[in-house]
Structure 1
Amino acid sequence: MIKALQQHLNTTLPFLKDSNLLIAISGGVDSVVLTHVLKALNYPITLAHCNFNLRGEESDADETFVVNLAENLGVEVFVQKFDTTSYAQNQKVSTQMAARTLRYDWFQELTKQLEFDYVLTAHHADDDLETFLINLSRGTGIEGLSGIPEINDYVVRPLLPFSRAEIEAYAKENNLSWREDSSNASTKYLRNKLRHEVIPTLKALHTTFLQNFQKTQKHLQESETIIQDRVDEVFNQVVDTISEDAIYFNIEKIQALSSPKAYLYQLLNTYGFSEWDDVINLLTAQSGKQVLSKNYTLLKNRDYLILSKNSNLSNEKLKLQIKEGQNNVITPSGKLSFQEVEHITKTTANIIYIDKDLLKYPLCVRQWQKGDYFYPFGMRGKKKVSKYLKDEKVSLLEKERILVLCSGDDIVWIMGQRADDRYKVTQQTKQVIKIQLQ
């Protein structure tokens, strides 16, 4: 397995090798194997363990095990204790949801304070299958069936292509010790019920069931890409106006589509709507009717469905720092790579060339803000980012996702859009850096 994982890391996740990595470790076999393998491959790792205080002495024993493992491997470990039960009661959420929130909030805090580049979790192919079946049982679109993302912002899951059986086999072959969570044996939770009762039956029906599932999921991911391409085309067809605050969907054009309900779902599913019958009914409703999601309002106004952002919604705060010499960073928009080059070749919306000596480190990736301005490449004078995005007819959804790369207080690049003229390569440039968004 170690050779297969090394090959996977080299081909799919090469940026991890030179990154500062934090491994989320429970003490279970999955995270223990991930820790041992990356240590054997000389990856720069630190461990982070959450004690949720849900299983009394067993939780404390898990913590002791992880601390001893870190000492034996000669790696640093961080431990955080949580009063998960009280948090769940105060927030009125399930214990599982409380633990998830506490865990990832702490990981995010560690990455910011101690400048870790990525948090690695030990999710594997069987976890992916369980998630697929959970989403299937609850009802979902294709996006709910396309799998756990291998890279999601700063969280990376290197073991996702590998099965639980492969991971356990490696642990036994190498005489590794790990902890068993007694709560995993209970069928109280849906995931455990699927794990212990449903999935073994499916695997018994076909010996290659898991591999076949992975192939099917890959096909679903490819189909999702095709669907998104078509949805982008339809978006341009049915949207008449994009203003600073709203998108105007032409009802007549939507009704002329082969399946208005299906297209509306694809056009609007990222805005948090859940009552899809109410959404489709807006097409024939009286003016003034509206459907609300947590963050957005969809209003019927004569010939249009008008999508607008709720006034009480503030932008999520995102701030990723990029140190000098850091060649890759994962952002919500994709992987940002930096490479020193001798010459300028092809420049696109996703590839720019910058005078490196003008940059002030650390660089910063953040969301654009009201009042931001830059000097558009090839133009004289400055322009507000909001005005630029409006002139480029960037949709409301796209605006929410636009990030900027900054040097100090200057915007170097509206990522995927346009570079700043102040940082362009000139005859006086001594070092050229190619920046690419993938």
Structure 2
Amino acid sequence: MNERHRLVESLLCLVREYSMTAPGETVLVAVSGGPDSVALVHALWSVREELGITLYVAHLNHSFRGEESDNDARFVWSLASSLSIPCVIEKVDVPRMRQMLRLSAESAARLVRYEFLENTAEKIGAARIALGHTADDQVETVLMNIIRGSGTDGLAGMPPVRGKIIRPLLGVRRTDVASYLQEQGLSARIDETNLLPHFTRNRIRLRLLPMLREYNPGIDTVILQLAELARADSAYMNAEASKVFKRLTIACDTGAVTLDRGELLGLDLAIRRRVVREAVKSVRSDISDLGFRHVEDLLGLLATGGDFRYELPAGVFVECERGSIVFRSERQRDVPIIYKYEIAVPGETPIGEAGVLIKAEVIESHLEPVRSPDDTEVILDLDKVKGTLVARNWQPGDRIQPLGMKGSKKLQDVFTDRKIPRRVRHRIPVIQDGERILWVVGVIISDVAKVTDSTQRCLRLRAVPVSPCSYDRKVV
């Protein structure tokens, strides 16, 4: 049995280490026709049965190089045919799109390429999209991120796995690619634009790296080790920030999220910065243009203690009011939300506008506390409830007799005292019978239907979060 080339061994090692594929999955391989992608698709083809995967090839003709671009497409089609791999080819006028979107050639090409790959993967049912980035690409990416300005996430470079994207050659050097192609008798297309110093990545490869190697011949290895360390640190910090972000979330809607201002200010600075980025990401997935200065300016305003409005890149607006800070995808006037639902007793009543499910049950005793610490559960005297029980939105002029008090109080004043933002007040369920407000979910309980020693039957009401967000939110 012939010994496998080190490129194949490295590929298999990375695939298994990061669980890049699973038996029975279809993998879409992005093939430009260059050496790296040719080596990738051939190596995956050679171990397809061992991995139990099915391959597809995808090629995007960017139309940058005229006839040469068309020849690239024909080459990829021929290569895929020789390996009996189905092939999808699409042609897009990226130069024209670049002008329309006012993007650099690199940015426009990347945008169109990833959209093409994601759409193709969805059409053919591919679980993974394999890209041919190598260790040399990783070195260039880290340097490029440093030059542009980057935090720890940028120092980590490209992840081996990100969603559907996998990079099986990330542990392979370009010298290994050249050796593999020679051993297998494979040819590849050469994009001469990669030799021109017009693009940042090319200048790093052709000018900066050779200069750095004069200071340290092993600089490539040093940078790769730095990326590995940064990736582990970033993964841990991001996971912790995600947990904190969920804990600080007061409310979330489509295109908006509200955090507790005081708790955010009390965080360690490293986590605080990441929570802000997590909040922006929750309302706008692409945060590539959110820079260090934006986050620092926002945190500086937050620390002043006053209310403010602040605009971040790409139409993300931040509003700080009393005890909360709201991130939203666009500036818009708050439109009052109006709803009214009859509560099933016993039963469950979903309040979609508030993101909660009201569970009602009749119980015979009240040995348990009549309220929860966060006012998301209450036990009432059922015989004191008059008429039909309903859940509705707050309305100006609403009053409640707070538990333990003889007089009534405006709900608006209660909200102000509890530092509840104006924009979420209309979502909070107000529970009332035919005559009076009995409970404002998560905020306050009324005295009028309280349980006493003479109570015969009890009604337990619970508000259970059911949110459209990808995480549970607190009842507001």
User: TM-score under structure 2 normalisation?
Assistant: 0.61
* Alignment partner of 1:269 out of 277, 284, 288: 277
Q: Which runs of 5+ in 2 are unaligned?
A: 1-5, 281-286, 333-345, 359-441, 443-462
Q: CA deviation at 1:29?
A: 0.3
Partner of residue 59 from structure 1, selected from 44, 61, 69: 69
Give 1:58 deviation, angstroms. 1.6
Give the corresponding residue for 1:44.
54
Instruction: Judge conservation of contact 2:265–2:272 (CA < 8 Å) in 1.
Output: no
1:297·1:310 contact (CA, 8 Å) conserved in 2? Answer: yes
Which of residues 245, 261, 264 in structure 2 aligns to 1:250? 261
Q: CA RMSD in A?
A: 3.4
1:15: which partner in 2? 21
2:300 maps to 281
> Given the superposition, is the C-alpha separation of residues 393 and 160 from structure 1 closer, same or farther in structure 2, using an over 3 Å criterion?
farther
Q: Cα–Cα, structure 1 residues 263 and 38, in superposed 2: closer, same or farther, change >3 Å? A: closer
Residue 387 of structure 1 corresponds to 356
Percent identity, aligned pairs only, is: 24
- For the 8 Å contact 2:252–2:469, the answer to whether it is kept is no
1:4 corresponds to 2:24? no
Matched, 1:301 2:309: no
Distance 1:194 1:16, change over 3 A: farther
Change (3 A) 1:149 1:206: same
1:14 Cα shift?
5.7
**Aligned pair 1:106/2:97, yes or no?**
no
Q: Within 2, Cα distance between the matches of 1:188 and 1:278?
A: 34
In structure 2, what is the equivalent of residue 148 of structure 1? Answer: 158
Change (3 A) 1:167 1:263: same
SS at match of 1:158: coil
The alignment status of 1:291 with 2:299, answered yes or no, reads no
Q: 2: distance between equivalents of 1:229 and 1:82? A: 38
Aligned twin of 1:181: 191
CA positional deviation for 1:78? 1.8
The code of the aligned residue for 1:250 comes to R
Give, in angstroms, the shift of residue 153 of structure 1: 2.0
Matches within 5 A, 1:322-361: none
Stretches of structure 1 lacking an aligned partner (at least 5 in a row): 313-378, 403-413, 415-438
Aligned equivalent of 2:206: 196
- In structure 2, what is the Cα distance between the partners aligned to 1:46 and 1:120? 10
The 1:393–1:200 alpha-carbon spacing in structure 2 relative to 1, beyond 3 Å, is farther
Distance 1:246 1:5, change over 3 A: closer
Deviates more, 1:162-171 or 1:187-196: 162-171
Query: 1-side partners of 2:322 and 2:265: how far apart?
Result: 14
1:136 to 135, 139, 146: 146
Deviation at 1:19? 1.2
Question: Is 1:32 paired with 2:38?
Answer: yes
2:92 to 67, 71, 82: 82
**CA shift at 1:178, angstroms?**
0.5
Q: C-alpha separation between the residues in 2 aligned to 1:307 and 1:167?
A: 46
Cα drift, residue 217 of structure 1: 1.8
* CA deviation after TM superposition for structure 1 residue 179, in Å: 0.8
Q: 3-state SS of the aligned residue for 1:294? A: helix
CA–CA distance in structure 1, aligned partners of residues 9 and 155 of structure 2: 29
Letter in 1 for 2:301: L
Contact 1:278 1:291 in 2 (8 A): no
**Equivalent position to 2:129, from 111, 119, 126:** 119
Contact 1:240 1:248 in 2 (8 A): yes
**Number of aligned residues:** 332
| Residue type of the alignment partner of 2:275 | L
SS of residue paired to 1:220 = helix
Pick closer, same or farther for the CA change 1:34–1:243 going to 2, 3 Å. closer
Checking the alignment, whether the CA contact within 8 Å between 1:24 and 1:47 is kept in structure 2 is yes
Q: Which moved more, 1:106-115 or 1:179-188?
A: 106-115
Shift of 1:207: 4.3
Please report how far the alpha carbon of residue 286 of structure 1 lies from its aligned counterpart in structure 2 after TM superposition. 4.4
Structure 1: how far apart are the matches of 2:242 and 2:113?
A: 36
Residues 384 and 19 of structure 1: CA distance in aligned 2, closer, same or farther (over 3 Å):
farther
Question: Match of 1:4, SS?
Answer: helix
| SS of residue matched to 1:50 | strand
Query: How big is the shift at 1:3?
Result: 2.6
Task: State the distance in 2 between where 1:18 and 1:233 align.
Answer: 34
* Distance of aligned partners of 1:277 and 1:41 in 2 relative to their CA distance in 1, 3 Å threshold: closer
Rounded to whole Å, the distance in 1 between the matches of 2:44 and 2:317 is 47
Q: CA separation of 1:25/1:241 partners in 2, compared to 1, >3 Å: closer, same or farther?
A: closer
Separation in 2, partners of 1:254, 1:154: 32
Alpha-carbon distance change, 384 to 154 in structure 1, aligned in 2, over 3 angstroms: farther
- Residues 236/11 of structure 1: CA separation in 2 closer, same or farther (3 Å cut): closer
Contact 2:61 2:89 in 1 (8 A): yes
* Structure 1 pair 119–388 and aligned structure 2 pair: CA distance change class (3 A): farther
Distance 1:156 1:232, change over 3 A: closer
Letter in 2 for 1:35: V
Q: CA deviation at 1:232?
A: 5.5
Structure-2 residue corresponding to 1:71:
81
